[in-house]
Amino acid sequence: MKSSHFLLPALVASLLAAPVAQAHSSTDLASSPTAPAKKPAGITRIDPTFWWVGMKNPKLQLLVHGPGIANSTASLRYEGVTLDGTQKLESPNYLVVNLTVSPTAKPGQLKLEFKGAKNFSYSYELKARSTPGDKTQVQGLSTQDFIYFLMPDRFSNGDPKNDYIKGMKAPAAARDSMYSRHGGDLKGIANHFDYFKTLGATALWLTPIVENDQPKASYHGYALTDYYTVDRRYGTNEEYRSFVRNAHQNGLKVVQDVVLNHLGSESYLFRDQPAKDWFHQWPTFTRSSFRDAAFNDPHGSQYDRKLFGEGWFDTTMPDLNQSNPLVATYVIQNNLWWVENTGIDAYRIDTYSYSDRNFLMQWGQALLDEYPQLGMFGETWVQGTAQQAYFARNILPSTDGFKSNLPGVTDFQLQYAINEALTKDAGWTEGISKLYYTLHDDWLYENPMRNVVFLDNHDMSRFYSVIGEDFAKYKMGLAWLLTTRGIPQLYYGTEVLMKNFSNPDGKVREDFPGGFPGDKKNLFTSRSGQEAEAFDYVSKLANYRRTHEFLHAGKLMQFIPDQGVYTYFRYSDAGTVMVMMNSNKEEKTVDMARFAERLNGFSSGVEVTTGAAIADLKTVKIPGRTAWVVELKK
């Protein structure tokens, strides 16, 4: 997610910059820290909303919210559960209740008793776990996967009943507005499971599905207002659980997009802040510098580190203070909750590099301790492979106390490289040589195969536009995406040549044609010309990749590009694929003798996407602007 999602009007921006007590609506006295803390009338909510017995970590932190709740004392009587104590916060409307849920505890309704000016009780549910031993849940990610990335609001409208939700700050869909809700939902995505399978996708990554009850531009999902609720314009929590189950039954994994760094300004946690130190506070609104290098620059200043890590992403995105142990635990428990509650397979972590680094290590360890198989990759929109590797598991020494435990990252360095390969002439290190030299730096990673490779995303100009709508270059890019190392990710619509530039960013987030009532084109079911050719090309290569282990999991050997031609091999004992990319406009004759160490024992080959035979492996002539994916034959 990049920095220019949207800005509030000056009045609201100044309100957010004002002292905390002034940032509350006059109609929200029940949740305001300035409200009278008289007789507690009850509990507004408890987070987590429920929990499970049998979690590996027996500790459970409950954040109890209700008017004047801090003036109450808590007690319980439940076999196997002990009350470790309570903690008051600055706001009188919060009380932290710490529990230990021992391995002997059974599922049931735990009765919490609160005594104060008024006595009341709350029935808190402890559930039986469903994920242990169920191989259909929390499957993780592997190099066999092909991730299809989409924005739920912009993909398909399957349930018109949730197009208008009374009481929400942006209640209605308005497709004629670039930054309004358009009406896409979970049912719309599920209606097209067969489309994904035909394409060859094995995993679906959705931009955040949690509630974003913001007055403007909430469609992207990155300004959450409720950690525990699916946005009602997408569906309900139970519908999301069903969505994940149905995806699994259709052979599709689910990647949930999660934001650790910030939340939305309309969240109850910000409108009624538990304490000032739950957020990074500034005298006036201060935006992050977005300069991640400040974190680990050995010559850097504390000022730059603070500005990058503690500045807000936007006026509507308060920056969480994850160095506060209560905040850290709140976020970690929420992310555990979604995995156990739904069985999702992986997390994509938005703005990963912006979070407190000690928290990132704690977060990663907590999730992997509970779910070792959980897939995780973080957004690392940084410059330089060393900087990118710093945020992943790597071979680098820890010089600043941070040693990443994140399995993989979004590989922006390779995204830069493929764009350069297809838009610049070949040089010693430029053009297509950029691919070679970027992959050369893979030695920095513990396992670069866990990185997610991509051509574009929701924050970038679309790939087809970047390459000048050149269809030959398009096929080269897709051939590379589906044959290089790592886990490939495709942004929705790339397979049918959706295009546009990211200024403004809404243009690269347009609706999928055919996903909404009244669409003039339906590219789910009716494709022709190059749109059909593009879809078929991706489908054929993606499905071939999925069923051939030597391509999706084999070793990679690359050769230094020569005269604008880049050649590499994916191979294992089961077979070998040779990929040859000619970035020149003109045909090139290639002497194959330099590839002898990989060609030894092979006499011919078949180009995977066309079926064309390659009878001579001594000298080949490859047309200009062409990528060959050749399965070698003995």
pLDDT digits (tens, 9 = 90+) for 507-553: 999 999 999 999 999 999 999 999 999 999 999 999 999 999 999 99
369 catalytic residue (yes or no) = no
What integer pLDDT is reported at residue 15 of this predicted model?
Answer: 32
Cα dist from 220 to 70, 151, 205, 352, whole Å: 35, 7, 13, 17
With beta carbons less than 8 A apart as the criterion, state whether 262 and 278 touch. no
> What is the spatial distance between Cα 272 and Cα 92, in angstroms, rounded to a whole number?
10
Which of 350, 411, 510, 511 is the catalytic position?
Answer: 350
What integer pLDDT is reported at residue 41 of this predicted model?
Answer: 54
What integer pLDDT is reported at residue 399 of this predicted model?
Answer: 86
Q: Report which of 426, 485, 498, 408 is spatially closest to residue 456, judged by C-alpha positions.
A: 498
Q: 244-259: per-residue pLDDT in tens?
A: 999 999 999 999 999 9
Q: 293-306: per-residue pLDDT in tens?
A: 999 999 999 999 99
Crossing angle for the helix pair 471-481 and 529-547, nearest 10 degrees?
Answer: 20
Name residue 106's amino acid. K
What integer pLDDT is reported at residue 36 of this predicted model?
Answer: 37
Query: CB count, 10 Å around CB of 465?
Result: 18
32-61: b or e for each residue (b if 16 or more CB lie within 10 Å)?
Answer: bbebebeebeebbebbbeebbbbbeebebb
Provide the pLDDT confidence category of residue 23 given band limits of 50, 70 and 90.
very low
Domains of the chain: 33-127 (2.60.40.10), 147-278+314-551 (3.20.20.80), 554-633 (2.60.40.1180)
What integer pLDDT is reported at residue 222 of this predicted model?
Answer: 97
* Whether pLDDT at 38 is above 50: no
Name residue 622's amino acid. I
Tell me the two tokens of residue 365. Answer: 């360890």
* 54 torsion bin: left (phi>0), alpha (psi -120 to 50), beta (else): left
* Whether pLDDT at 3 is above 80: no
Percent of the chain with pLDDT over 70: 94
Strands 94-101 and 59-65: antiparallel
* Whether pLDDT at 29 is above 70: no
What integer pLDDT is reported at residue 2 of this predicted model?
Answer: 52
With beta carbons less than 8 A apart as the criterion, state whether 93 and 66 touch. yes
With beta carbons less than 8 A apart as the criterion, state whether 434 and 416 touch. yes
Sequential DSSP letters for 543-558:
HHHHH-HHHHTSEEEE
Q: Report which of 11, 16, 506 is spatially closest to residue 287, judged by C-alpha positions.
A: 16
Q: Which of the residue ranges 36-45, 143-152, 184-193, 287-296 would you say has the lowest mean pLDDT?
A: 36-45
Q: 103-130: per-residue pLDDT in tens?
A: 999 999 999 999 998 899 999 999 999 9
What integer pLDDT is reported at residue 117 of this predicted model?
Answer: 83
Round the average pLDDT of the chain to a whole number and report it. 93
Q: In what order do the strands lie in the sheet with 81-88?
A: 45-47, 59-65, 94-101, 81-88
* Whether pLDDT at 598 is above 80: yes
Polymer length of the chain: 634
What integer pLDDT is reported at residue 9 of this predicted model?
Answer: 33
What integer pLDDT is reported at residue 33 of this predicted model?
Answer: 36
> What is the spatial distance between Cα 297 and Cα 283, in angstroms, rounded to a whole number?
27
Residues 471, 475, 476, 482, Cα dihedral to 10°? 150
Residue 566 pairs with which residues in a beta bridge? 581
Which of 47, 163, 379, 511 is the catalytic position?
Answer: 379
The pLDDT of 465-487, averaged and rounded, is 98
Instruction: Enumerate residues 6+ apart whose C-beta is below 8 A from 611.
Output: none
> What is the spatial distance between Cα 332 and Cα 338, in angstroms, rounded to a whole number?
10
What integer pLDDT is reported at residue 217 of this predicted model?
Answer: 87
* Whether pLDDT at 53 is above 70: yes
Using a cut of 0.85, tell me whether the model's pTM lies above it. yes
What integer pLDDT is reported at residue 37 of this predicted model?
Answer: 37
The continuous run of DSSP H or E covering 110 comes out as: strand 108-115
379 catalytic residue (yes or no) = yes
Tell me the two tokens of residue 418. Answer: 């493929």
* Whether pLDDT at 479 is above 60: yes
What integer pLDDT is reported at residue 1 of this predicted model?
Answer: 66
Chain position carrying tokens 């100044």: 14
With beta carbons less than 8 A apart as the criterion, state whether 47 and 78 touch. no
